[in-house]
Amino acid sequence: EVQLLESGGGLVQPGGSLRLSCAASGFTFSTSTLSWVRQAPGQGLEWASTISVTGSTTYYGDSVKGRFTISRDNSKDTVYLQMNSLRAEDTAVYYCAREVLPGYFDLWGRGTLVTVSS
């Protein structure tokens, strides 16, 4: 089955760190551009980050730039999102998505909830 499965979400204090993982199956991961898109509770969608097929190029939205780092391990069919200096406004469901260039998303995971609160 073609799918993306996120993990690693949870409750973290402001200023803390968390690493999300997204495991892919059912398609050729190493030739796929992957992204993270987030959705705050009751709100709309916000693109956060994208990584190229080799991992050599990464892109970030302004709200996460300098705090989040996207990476991938093509030997494990997994993409990661390292989140540092977390803020309350980072509270959201984080979705992993396969990006079809030049930039729409044709496959989404179920999401993992990150809650930043003291």
Partner 1 sequence: EIVLTQSPGILSLSPGERATLSCRASQSVRSNFLAWYQQKPGQAPKLLIYGASSRATGLPDRIVGSGSGTDFTLTISRLEPEDFAVYYCQQYGNSPLTFGGGTKVEIK
Q: Shortest approach of partner 1 to residue 76 CB, angstroms? A: 22
Contact call for residue 44 and partner 1 (CB under 8 A): yes
Cα(51)–Cα(44) distance, rounded to whole angstroms?
A: 22
What DSSP line would sit under 75-89, residue for residue?
TTTEEEEEE-S--GG
Q: How many CB atoms lie within 10 A of CB 1?
A: 5
Structure tokens at 103: 């930039």
| Among 9-17, 20-28, 72-80, 103-111, the segment contacting partner 1 (CB under 8 A) | 103-111
Binning the chain into helix, strand and coil, the percentages to the nearest 5 are 5, 55, 40
29 part of the interface to partner 1, by CB under 8 A: no
Q: How far is the CB of 111 from partner 1 (least distance, A)?
A: 6
Binding status of residue 95 toward partner 1 by CB under 8 A: yes
Q: Pick from 5, 105, 113, 115: which binds partner 1 (CB under 8 A)? A: 105
Task: Summarize as ranges the residues that interact with partner 1 (CB under 8 A).
Answer: 37, 44-47, 50, 59, 61-62, 95, 100, 102-106, 108-111
